[in-house]
Amino acid sequence: MESRCTEKKIVEQQLGREVKNNFTVVKKCRWGYPQCIQSSLITEGKPFPTLFWLTCPLLSKEVSRLEEKGWIKRFEENLQNSEELFQRYLKAHRATIELKASLVKANNLKNWQKEALLGRGIGGIKNLKTVKCLHLQLANYLSGIKNPIGESVWKMLSIKECNEDNVLCKTLEGDNEKRTAGKD
């Protein structure tokens, strides 16, 4: 990725909003743009329980299509009907909580902050039998957690990266450069 933009600017362009918390890019596409980030657990002194965020506009659009087709409800029904799937999903929640716990140890947090972060699973989910959002499930999986819902979402996607003729983030970057040049 040849760019004068910082990763923060790119992620802000991808998400369409200012990003206030610190983050690390944990997965990039073949074009070098962020697909998924790991966010800091505290933003402006408040717990931020969603550890992983899907930032890629292409993946976000494709996952939104699955949500529109009712896949959140279908996955939740599958969790109710398959003990094996539910146990694998619980392991993903536990792995996420363990990762958050290791990050919490590195920070000097207050007890209420720790409880708010460690009392929830993937994406801040309290009821571990729910899915909440497919974007966060996929982000969790792409970040290295063995998440069966995220893995299923990944396998369901027919398009996983931009083609070379239409790299969405390159377009976003170019649009930003035009806006910035117009301010001079």
| Residue 14 forms part of a structural domain | yes
User: Tokens in use for 102?
Assistant: 């290791």
Residue at 26 is within a domain? yes
pLDDT band at 172 (very low <50, low <70, confident <90, very high): confident
43: in domain: yes
Residue 183 lies in a domain: no
In the predicted model, is pLDDT for residue 21 greater than 70?
Answer: yes
pLDDT, residue 176, reads 52
Residue type, 9: K
Domain encompassing residue 153: 7-164
Residue 127 DSSP label: S
Question: What Rg do the C-alpha atoms of the chain give, in angstroms?
Answer: 17
Per-residue three-class SS string for 58-97: HHHHHHHHHHHCCHHHHHHHHHHHCHHHHHHHHHHHHHHH
Domain count, the chain: 1
Instruction: Give pLDDT, residue 179.
Output: 47
C-alpha torsion angle, residues 167, 51, 131, 17 (rounded to 10):
-50
The answer to whether residue 178 is domain-embedded is no
- Which pLDDT does position 174 carry in this prediction? 67
pLDDT of 10 reads 93
Inside any domain, residue 51: yes
Q: Flag whether pLDDT at 14 surpasses 70.
A: yes
What tens digit of pLDDT does each residue of 64-108 get?
999 999 999 999 999 999 999 999 999 999 999 999 999 988 777
Is the pLDDT score of 150 beyond 50? yes
In a domain, 22, yes or no: yes
Inside any domain, residue 69: yes
